[in-house]
Amino acid sequence: MTQDATHDTVLREEAISALVTDPDGVYVDGTYGRGGHSRAILARLSSHGRLIGFDRDRQAAEGAERLAAEDPRFSFVAEPFSRWGAALVERGIEEPVHGVMFDLGVSSPQLDQAERGFSFRFDGPLDMRMDQSRGLSAADWLAVAEEDEIRDVISRLGEERFARRIAAEIVSRRADRPLRRTTDLVDCVVAATPRRDPNKHPATRTFQAIRLYINEELDEITSALHQALEHLRPGGRLVVISFHSLEDRIVKRFIRDHSTPGKDFFGNPVGETAFRRIGKAVRAGQAETEQNPRARSAIMRVAERAE
């Protein structure tokens, strides 16, 4: 069995059931990862269906290319999901698609690979880039960023109450030697955190914040969602799985803003809406969370493009 197939895929059945409404349709998996959702989508499609996967992670691309070689219904684009609409047009897919899904954040294999630098649990290079071929690594950024900028990122994207202390500690320590390893950053956070949550590692929020900033993840999400307005056909589904409040807040606001009609002076609804919400937010059940603890924070939202 391939690595792609063995990766635990969060809310797989719930997501695919919400997404695939026409087995002959064209679908987009904007976050291929290790292919769990893509394989499940393909299992629901007929011989006429088609699936296009996206990912900027090189290791994800290797698995996706193997799947493309196995299944002619699948094709892969090695680009960030923020370009999914334009990339489809560039490849001759100009008709709106039947569904698009995004499984946000980092995958478990990425977190478990010390050399990627995503996790505070392992000693490794302080990298954190989804695409290691471009952009500044976390270490490069922390070496040059102003203290106020570091504080703002950790506070705003990590919602870390000790952001000021942590930023000051980072700047103080880098004056002696660069922060090149994940353990260097962990040591800074631990030293600067006077009170700790017994149920959460003190570096959790700082690592999350820097990863989001380095990869511009929130901007990526916003851009990808808005492309559904143009590239999703009437009746087509938008399915998004988020893993923390900042991601989910963007998704929730997008769906709300585009599924709520305006009101006239008397409070009567006016105008058309681009989407309609499908059901309530979905969370993983007890059986799934026991098998895959990462699923505890997952929340899925679904919307349908209006006619």
What are the structural domains, with CATH classification, of the chain? Answer: 3-109+217-305 (3.40.50.150), 131-214 (1.10.150.170)
pLDDT of residue 59: 87
**pLDDT of 4 higher than 60:** no
pLDDT of residue 93: 94
Interval 126-152 mean pLDDT: 96
More confident residue, 5 or 228: 228
pLDDT of residue 6: 43
User: Global pTM?
Assistant: 0.91
**The residue count for the chain:** 307
**pLDDT of 200 higher than 50:** yes
More confident residue, 3 or 162: 162
For residue 75, give Cα distances in angstroms to 66, 88, 91, 118, 233: 10, 11, 11, 28, 20
Instruction: Please write the tens of the pLDDT for every residue from 144-183.
Output: 999 999 999 999 999 999 999 999 999 999 999 999 999 9
287: its two tokens? 């059986």
Interval 83-100 mean pLDDT: 96
**pLDDT of 3 higher than 50:** no
pLDDT of residue 5: 39
At residue 198 the predicted structure's pLDDT band, cuts being 50, 70 and 90, is confident
pLDDT of residue 2: 39
Interval 267-294 mean pLDDT: 88
- For the chain, percent of residues with pLDDT exceeding 90: 80
More confident residue, 159 or 294: 159
The rounded distance, in Å, linking the Cα atoms of 40 and 34 is 12
pLDDT of residue 1: 31
The rounded distance, in Å, linking the Cα atoms of 54 and 201 is 32
- Average pLDDT for the chain: 92
pLDDT of residue 195: 84
